[in-house]
Amino acid sequence: MDEYYGMKIKFMTRGGSIHGILKGLDEDKELFMIEIGEEEFKLDVNDVVDMEPEDEEGSTLVVSKVEASKVEEKLKDEKLKDEGSKVDPLIEGNLKEEGVPVIEMGLKEEGVSKDPLPPKDAAQPLKETLPPNDTPTYPLPLTFSTPIPYSDYQSLLSLSFSRFGPTKEEFISISSLNLFKLLKSYFSLNSKIDIVLGEDPLYNSIGLTLGRLLLNNDYDIRVIGSPRNLEIVNYHYLYRENKGITLKKEREDNEFVIDCNDKSRCNINNKKVIFTFGLPFSNTNNINNFIHIAIGLGILEFVKDLKEYFLIDGMINERIYKKIGRTRKGMKSINRIKK
């Protein structure tokens, strides 16, 4: 193992690959010490599926696998997930402009009440372990425009990532692409855009992928904050390898803020437009230039007091929508939801 210290290593984990310089191994705590950029991270040995040294250009060196017997013993039963079948929507052809439909919450012609939730006696909390049939837990018909409680939303994502798809990586890519399609209609190439990272690794991953998309389309983009969460390390690495800049504070003259679920870092004063997805501010009703974006489905606690918001399609499987008494029918990549 000692001969790999100081080398750039590609660590393959269950959640993706991480590139960094191996600084050492804490055998007592079973942690790899990794340097990425100017920061040092700790990676659990048990989360690593395989390791490959790389040259200075990032290409994998043709060498034998890591000979550390301790690591081999812990990882021998692990197998890399098959990545070959995944389709990355970020490398598809030219983006096709789409009209954004305006959807009323609780359409009368479908016999749906204006109440964003069904009656209590008809609703059951969404479980991660569901029966094999597609019996819905809510009465039909309800459309994708009807929000759900936050606890159900978390279970919905868990079902998607572990059972029905899309995977977390696909969800991040699809959501980022659709966010890009929405937000570019607000921006010019001269716009100064800051993406503020929060504490939620899923939303931070979406924000970093969105930042890379904007960066590669010549927008003036900066990422604010650098949470030390290993789940976003690879997304941060890809952003930085595309010459992305990370700052500690927002720019004084920024025109747009994209908030990734952080109530304390984002400065809400004197901004032209603030976009937020994930968990919005508690006082957003008093902000005139605030635009909330939901992904997959609206979260009841965060959209119930909003007059309108955008709903971005994350391509969650129709079977999951059916299990909560909803349908994807009529859903576009970008939907404007109005009460």
Q: What is the pLDDT of residue 317?
A: 92
- Choose between 289 and 334: higher pLDDT: 334
Which domains does the chain show, CATH number per domain? 2-75 (2.30.30.100), 150-338 (3.40.50.10260)
What pTM value is reported for the model?
0.61
**Cα–Cα distance, 255 to 170 (Å, whole number):** 30
Least confident of 12-16, 311-315, 329-333: 12-16
pLDDT for residue 107 is more than 90: no
pLDDT given at position 329:
87
Question: pLDDT tier at 65 (50, 70, 90 boundaries)?
Answer: very low
C-alpha 295, offset from chain centre: 9
pLDDT in tens, 172-196: 999 999 999 999 988 988 899 999 8
- H-state helical runs in 36-146: 69-75
Which pLDDT score, from 0 to 100, does residue 1 have?
A: 64
pLDDT at 272 over 70: no
Residue 13: which of 295, 233, 339, 239 has the closest Cα? 233
Distances (CA, A) of 288 to 84, 105, 173, 269, 291: 45, 22, 30, 11, 9
- Tens-place pLDDT, residues 193-227: 999 888 888 999 999 999 999 999 999 999 998 76
Instruction: Grade residue 24 by pLDDT with cuts at 50, 70 and 90.
Output: confident
Going by pLDDT thresholds of 50, 70 and 90, the confidence category of residue 287 is low
Q: What pLDDT score does 270 carry?
A: 54
User: What is the rounded CA–CA span in Å between residue 314 and residue 192?
Assistant: 27
